[in-house]
């Protein structure tokens, strides 16, 4: 019996989009490969490093993206450069190399699919340093504003979700033969959902005939959702609202206690988002790429309320420049945008533009690429392992500390002398007592 190929998805749970992307690709692969042709595993490679800050990355991200957003944006800017991210990744890799190596070797993957920018260089360094025989591709899950960490020169392929993202990767120095545009990895259940608005509303048990807006603030249920629900209900009393609070149980309870009409429905964390979107005329959401692309794949106009971090700013431009919805950061602007999209002509024109802008089969296309890569032999170890200099010294024979310091000092002095930066008098200085004797005429 032929051994099944092993596919390892490398992610980090910093936000929900990376794991959702990996799950979407697994679902697409199962459809393409007729079920059990492959073995699938998903690992949070950032926490697996065991390093003090990185092992707390998911919780740290939640704090930074909700309470300390200016600091989050500053860190994004400070690290957004190829040399900077390469250096930082190498420094972290020096301490985490053994944990990363053990993790990768324990799964014995035939291909590693990275769905997070910060896992890329760890995978690339390990594959080269230890001659690991697997294919390595990156699936980008930001749309336009791509951090340079996404583009790793050691990856075999880097898959871009948009044409704009494809161009950014090339501008950042990725070779053209390594960058492929294939669309965004939206779960196949969204493309497979064929429910009409009426059928979806019937399935949810909500009013079939009312204009309906879906409001979601992401898995953690952050944002100004309560204020927005009250304002929309006040501005459009007949409008049906489907409100998803995510894992924020306190917010859900708070909204349920408010005296709202029966056609305002509040949900917690859901696993039937495709039905909720099918039941809606318009989706109001943050600029997170996951929910945003799910709505666009379902051919629903979107109203973006805010961007969490600089990496989401390009998502706003993607929607606005293509006429796929609106950006409305203030409550009054959201009310105006909802009113505009309630106009049948405006709504129909927006949906028509969606058909030309967003492919519905991104996950399927990427699954095809992954399957093709499994039939390509891993790269041969034809070059010397590229490891940080400090890491290479770990494998050199150890020498006495005093001699090592002396050798390093002499080497530095020689380099300075060779470049004219230092004049060295190599003659031994006379001892103090001899100089004293010379002064006394002895």
Judge if 103 and 236 occupy the same domain. no
Judge if 284 and 350 occupy the same domain. yes
Q: Please, which residues bridge with residue 38 across strands? A: 5
Residue 425: predicted pLDDT: 46
Judge if 305 and 418 occupy the same domain. no
What sign does the CA torsion over 13, 15, 16, 22 have?
negative
- Where does residue 378 rank: exposed (0-12), middle (13-18), buried (19+ CB within 10 A)? middle
With DSSP H G I counted as helix, E B as strand and the rest as coil, what are the percentages for the chain, rounded to 5? 50, 10, 35
Judge if 150 and 233 occupy the same domain. no
Residues 188 and 365: their CA atoms lie apart, in Å, by 11
**Residue 171: count of CB within 10 angstroms of its CB:** 10
Judge if 136 and 245 occupy the same domain. no
120 domain-assigned: yes
371 domain-assigned: yes
Sequence-distant (≥ 6) Cβ neighbours of residue 276 within 8 angstroms? 200, 204, 214, 242, 244, 267, 270
Residues 24 and 273: their CA atoms lie apart, in Å, by 14
Q: CA geometry: angle at 394 spanning 390 and 399, to 5°? A: 110
438 domain-assigned: no
Q: Kindly report the CATH number assigned to the domain that includes residue 182.
A: 3.40.50.2000
Judge if 294 and 371 occupy the same domain. no
Find out whether 227 and 332 touch, Cβ atoms under 8 Å: no
Judge if 408 and 346 occupy the same domain. no
Judge if 377 and 346 occupy the same domain. no
Kindly give the pairing relationship between strand 302-304 and strand 282-285.
Answer: parallel
Judge if 142 and 217 occupy the same domain. no
114 domain-assigned: yes
- What's the average pLDDT block by block, 10 residues per block, for the chain (442 residues)? 86 86 95 79 92 84 84 92 93 92 94 96 94 96 96 96 97 97 96 96 97 81 80 95 90 88 92 97 94 96 92 94 95 96 96 88 96 84 48 44 49 52 45 49 45
Residues 316 and 107: their CA atoms lie apart, in Å, by 38
The alpha carbon of residue 285 and the mean position of all alpha carbons in its chain are separated, in whole angstroms, by: 18
Residues 32 and 434: their CA atoms lie apart, in Å, by 90
The domain containing residue 309 runs over which residues?
A: 189-359
436 domain-assigned: no
Judge if 413 and 265 occupy the same domain. no
Judge if 292 and 174 occupy the same domain. no
Number of domains in the chain: 3
Q: CA geometry: angle at 214 spanning 210 and 216, to 5°? A: 160
394 domain-assigned: no
């Amino acid at each position: 019996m032929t051994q099944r190929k092993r596919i390892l998805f490398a992610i980090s749970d910093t936000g929900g989009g990376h794991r959702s992307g990996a799950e979407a690709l697994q679902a697409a692969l199962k459809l393409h490969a007729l079920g059990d042709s492959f073995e699938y595993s998903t690992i949070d490679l950032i926490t697996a490093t065991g390093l003090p800050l990185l092992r707390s990355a998911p919780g740290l991200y939640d704090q930074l993206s909700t309470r300390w957003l200016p600091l989050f944006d500053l860190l994004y800017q400070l690290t957004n450069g190829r040399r900077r991210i390469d250096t930082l990744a190498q420094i972290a890799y020096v301490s985490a190399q053994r944990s990363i190596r053990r993790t990768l070797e324990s799964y014995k993957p035939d291909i590693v699919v990275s769905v997070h920018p910060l896992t890329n260089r760890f995978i690339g360094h390990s594959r080269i340093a230890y001659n690991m025989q697997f294919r390595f591709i990156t699936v980008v899950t930001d749309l336009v504003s791509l951090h340079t960490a996404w583009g790793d020169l050691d990856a075999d392929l880097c898959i871009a979700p948009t044409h704009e993202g494809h161009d950014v990767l090339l501008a950042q120095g990725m070779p053209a033969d390594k960058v492929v545009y294939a669309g965004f990895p939206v779960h196949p259940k969204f493309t497979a959902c064929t429910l009409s608005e009426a059928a979806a509303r019937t399935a949810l048990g909500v009013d079939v005939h009312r204009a309906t807006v879906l409001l979601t603030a992401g898995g953690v249920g952050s944002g100004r959702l309560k204020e927005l629900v009250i304002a929309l209900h006040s501005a459009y009393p007949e409008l049906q609202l489907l409100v998803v609070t995510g894992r924020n149980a306190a917010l859900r309870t708070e909204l349920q206690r408010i005296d709202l009409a029966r056609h305002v429905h509040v949900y917690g964390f859901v696993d039937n988002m495709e039905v909720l979107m099918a039941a809606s005329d318009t989706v109001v959401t943050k600029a997170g790429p996951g929910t945003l692309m799910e709505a666009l794949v379902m051919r629903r106009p979107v109203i973006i309320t805010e961007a969490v971090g600089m990496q989401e700013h390009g998502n706003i431009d993607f929607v606005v420049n293509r006429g796929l919805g609106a950006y409305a950061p203030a409550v009054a602007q959201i009310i105006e945008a909802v009113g505009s999209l309630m106009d049948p002509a405006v709504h129909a024109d927006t949906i028509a533009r969606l058909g030309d802008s967003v492919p519905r089969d991104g996950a399927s296309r990427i699954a095809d690429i992954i399957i093709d890569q499994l039939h390509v032999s891993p790269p041969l170890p034809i070059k010397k392992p590229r490891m940080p200099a400090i890491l290479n010294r770990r494998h050199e024979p150890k020498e006495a500390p005093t001699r090592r310091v002396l050798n390093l000092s002499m080497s530095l002095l020689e380099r300075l002398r060779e470049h004219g930066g230092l004049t060295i008098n190599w003659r031994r200085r006379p001892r103090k007592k001899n100089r004293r004797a010379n002064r006394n005429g002895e």
